[in-house]
Chains A and B, each alone.
Chain A
Amino acid sequence: MPVITYRDALNAALREEMHRDDRVFLMGEEVGVYNGAYKVSKGLLEEFGEMRVVDTPITELGFSGVGVGAAMVGLRPVVEFMTWNFALLALDQVVNAAAKMLYMSGGQFPMPIVFRGPNGAALQLSAQHSQAWESWLAHIPGLKVVAPGTPYDAKGLLKAAIRDDNPVVVLEGEMLYNTKGEVPDEDYIIPLGKAELKREGDHCSIITSGKMALVAMQAADTLAKEGIRLDVVDLRTIRPMDVDAITASVKKTNRAVVLEEGWEVCGIGAQVVDYIQRDCFDHLDAPVLRVHQADVPMPYAKAIEKAAKPDLAKTIGAVKKVMYIEA
């Protein structure tokens, strides 16, 4: 199977879906002539022309709304945010328009639109450019939210998102674009709402998604050398969440760590822990712990930036704690 980057996997998903359905178009800042700020849309302008690969002014609220309007009358827009940090300017369109249109019209206006772009911290980009938005977006009924962690998942989830008749938020990892993995050339989709067990073990569960899935797999590989077997549940879709996959894992291992990139308060992990306490209360051998970003805006300086981020060491520490192993 070909080994390609996460970036090229997304590019392949866009290209294949644009060939498959001429109602699909890509819109955003620098997606055309510049080939994408992160080169995800490389070559698409040449292939599909400027009506289907639309360079916009820097106008997030405006072009998101253009996407919503186009979706109301039957097109299938893919709206790219240069980063999700800029999408805050567009949240009225994502939340008040896209997510609610079907409901407040009594079912008359489905909203087949994708909002996608890089999410989460990169390196030393400081406070305004280093944020993970999962919990904000997954809070909203009417939206679906996916966060692929691998190139294989990136292609399959983006294709599924484009074919879905509901608004789907695709949170790509800014630090993942260069990562590589096996991705089939042929057409496949990953159904939305299905988690994947990325490592199988019976000592402790890690429930995670997106970029943090890689950290969880590293933790599993590292701890395997010490004889600790981790069950790594990669949610892949954050809304709707695959609760069965979470509870099946925790009922097997009786211990859990929830690993996420964002902040602690009202984070995705809080929701996961709630599902666990509701459905697995009698199965737990230890309190569930969470690993997340420190409760501060992201700093610039290297050492304290590292200290703010969830990472392998913190994850291993949390696993050992729930297993009552002295560090």
Chain B
Amino acid sequence: MPPKKKPDGNGPAESALDRQMLHSMILQRRFEEKVAEAYALGKIGGFCHLYIGQEAVSTGIIMALREDDYVLTTYRDHGQALVRGMTSRSVMAELFGRIDGCSRGKGGSMHLFDRHVNFLGGHGIVGGHVPLATGVGFAIKYRGGDQCVVCFMGEAAVNNGAFHESLNMAGLWRLPVIYVIENNRYGMGTALERASSIKDMYKRGATYNIESAEVDGQDVWAVREATLEAIARARKDSSPTLLEVRTYRYMGHSMSDAVSGTYRTKDELDEYRKRDPINLCKAKLLADKTITPGDVDAMEKEIAAVVQDSWDFADASPEPPYEALHEDVYVETTT
């Protein structure tokens, strides 16, 4: 399937946006390639879940939002954090467990937070953050604004009770929440066909009186277009949307897993790689002359420097001091 027609048209502003989207996807890819390197060297520890292969989803969705909207996501959160405007430095330093990390070294890979860009985490329990996003939607309605909140989750979370309870309330109370199922085909090592009675995840929206759609997650413009529709629904009618975005993860579930072998074949992986989101986007922009090969080279060079700088910054940042251990358990009450 070729990429969709670009939803924003072809003027100079749109071309700039297209370049930004390509830049955003390449940044996520190169950043995480560096993360894998740092993990292998023991500079990053614990669980570390890479997003490589899914970059069009974060880019297509988050770049369609306003600054005052909100984003919540899972433990596979590096890509979304970067698109939302968190610096490579603050994310890398968090992964390194350093004081200059976005969560002061206390959250790690799974718990990236930045209140300045309304990035409300990085959550580690599958499905556990879906009610939280619903609560943010409730708060928006309570205050009477026209913001919206995006909640990313994997397709395996859909079988969790938290998903059902949340979508029921969002449908019942008409909350401006965009629930995004990133269907990357596997909940850890369990294929969705082996876990869900319904194979088309988006169809579950009907159960909750929520508009839903299936989206090609390798095509950044298709993702953007579906998101713009969902956003309009949220802002105008305070209504929720369920998007099933079909994508694929190239890496293992986390850094401790093999890329293929046990639950999927290398052939399957190679097949999916043929529709790489970055390659699709790049090819289209080259074909319609939005960019030149020289532009791409320059972009790659600039991104390589940013990513290396984030590594150097993280490596130089101190570990949290002992006093930090007992900080942030409780906050001093001011009211």
Q: Which residues of A contact B (CB under 8 A)?
A: 21, 25, 51, 56-57, 59, 61-75, 77, 92-93, 96-97, 101-110, 141-142, 144, 163-166
Contact = CB atoms under 8 A, between A and B. Distances in A.
A70 B334 contact: no
B270 interface: no
Interface stretch (B165-173, B219-227, B239-247): B165-173
Interface stretch (B77-85, B106-114, B274-282): B106-114
Given A106-B104, A142-B330, A165-B331, A66 B135 contact: yes
13 contacts: A25-B142, A57-B172, A62-B134, A65-B129, A66-B135, A67-B135, A69-B138, A70-B135, A93-B128, A97-B129, A102-B329, A102-B330, A105-B328
Interface string B121-148: 1111100111111111111111000000
Contacts of B120: 69, 72-73, 109
Interface residues of B, number: 50
B90 to A, nearest CB: 10
Nearest to A101: B121
Given A104-B113, A108-B114, A165-B333, A59 B135 contact: no
Contacts of A68: 131-132, 135
Interface in B141-191: 141-142, 161-162, 165-166, 168-169, 172
Contact of B131 (A66, A71, A141): A66
B106 A106 contact: yes
B131 A93 contact: yes
B135 A103 contact: no
A104 B103 contact: yes
Contact of A103 (B125, B131, B162, B328): B328
Contact of A65 (B102, B114, B131, B140): B131
Interface in B250-302: none
B134 A65 contact: yes
B331 A110 contact: yes
Residue from B115, B121, B328, B331 with most neighbouring chain A CB atoms (10 Å):
B328
B70 interface: yes
Contacts of B128: 65, 92-93, 96-97
Contacts of A71: 135
A74 B138 CA distance: 12
B101 interface: yes
Contacts of A163: 333, 335
B103 A108 contact: yes
Given A59-B168, A70-B142, A96-B125, A102 B331 contact: yes
Nearest to B110: A104
B332 interface: yes
B136 A69 contact: yes
B327 interface: yes
Contacts of A67: 135
B105 interface: yes
Which of B111, B121, B129, B135 has the most C-beta atoms of chain A within 10 angstroms of its own C-beta?
B135
A185 to B, nearest CB: 22
Given A25-B142, A62-B168, A93-B128, A166 B162 contact: no
B139 A164 contact: no
Nearest to B151: A69
A163 B331 CA distance: 12
Contact of B121 (A62, A75, A105): A105
A105 B107 contact: yes
B308 to A, nearest CB: 25
Nearest to A92: B128
Nearest to B134: A66
Interface string B292-335: 00000000000000000000000000000000000111111111
Given A97-B128, A104-B103, A105-B107, A66 B113 contact: no
Given A69-B135, A165-B332, A106 B113 contact: yes
A152 B138 CA distance: 33
| Central interface residue in A25, A61, A62, A77, by most chain B CB within 10 Å | A62
A97 B149 CA distance: 18
Contacts of B142: 25, 51, 70, 75
B107 A104 contact: yes
Contacts of A21: 335
